[in-house]
A = this chain, B = another copy of it.
């Protein structure tokens, strides 16, 4: 079985975006605020949006199961207040849940949280609980910068985030650290903000000592860990300067990197530098980079090709990257798969 740990519902029916635009208009003009019930998307529409897109590509490329969360760039936690985020997260998570019910062998949910800048993270617990207990979701996406590019939240090692971590440990679920759209013109969303956030998160975790408080906590750093594996020597050296333990002990019991790196040399570096146990197959398909690489004739985000081709992994290693590691990190998924077997 091949598990893709990083897919977003980027192909939801247009009605979702229309409803969201009305919600945003409703922030300034309460009379224009739409009701949740006004969003109607049928199962057939959901089915079509998946069968023609993600599921088709999964079948073509040879992956089986995608850990599926709401579209990351649409989370936009900086828009409106907590009530706006709460309603929006609830709608988006429910759609992922419905997809997971329509295609139970191919999709399992991961929740976006109704984060809102400056709001206590305890406010996110009810949505998180519902997604885990009622929807069978196996993970969350945690946005380290709900401001959308202004970076005014405390580092991930701060107690500010502990209410979420406590629930993650209680439910035995990991978080993917994933920002949303950038409203800062300095940062292109998928070209700068996403990658910077990954790098920033890794360095925050190096500086702090979070996993002493939460030895069970598991984070997935998407997009191949941002810049971290490429600069692994720098990070090992900075940890040394900061009198931290070696990264293998300090980070790698709790931090995992996905394989959303869209060319062969990048995957070769990742699989050379980072221990196999810390690498999880992912493509973020259909996502930021949808085109065909003229240098290979294949889609940039068809990351399975790079993993199959890299000389750094044995067949046994590949099985870990494709399935074994994901079942360890996403413990509730492993349990669900065993129950279904």
Contacts and interface: CB of A to CB of B under 8 A. Distances in A.
Contacts of A234: 191, 195, 223, 261-263, 288-289, 300
Interface in A225-268: 226-227, 229-238, 240-241, 246, 261-266, 268
Interface stretch (A48-56, A97-105, A143-151): A143-151
A155 to B, nearest CB: 6
Contacts of A268: 269
Interface residues on A, range: 35 or more
A224 interface: yes
Contact of A263 (B152, B195, B232): B232
Interface string A25-51: 000000000000000000000000000
Contacts of A290: 237, 241
A241 B150 contact: no
Interface stretch (A117-125, A163-171, A201-209): A201-209
Contacts of A186: 144-145, 151-155, 200, 204
A190 interface: yes
A108 B179 CA distance: 42
Interface string A290-317: 1101110000110000000000000000
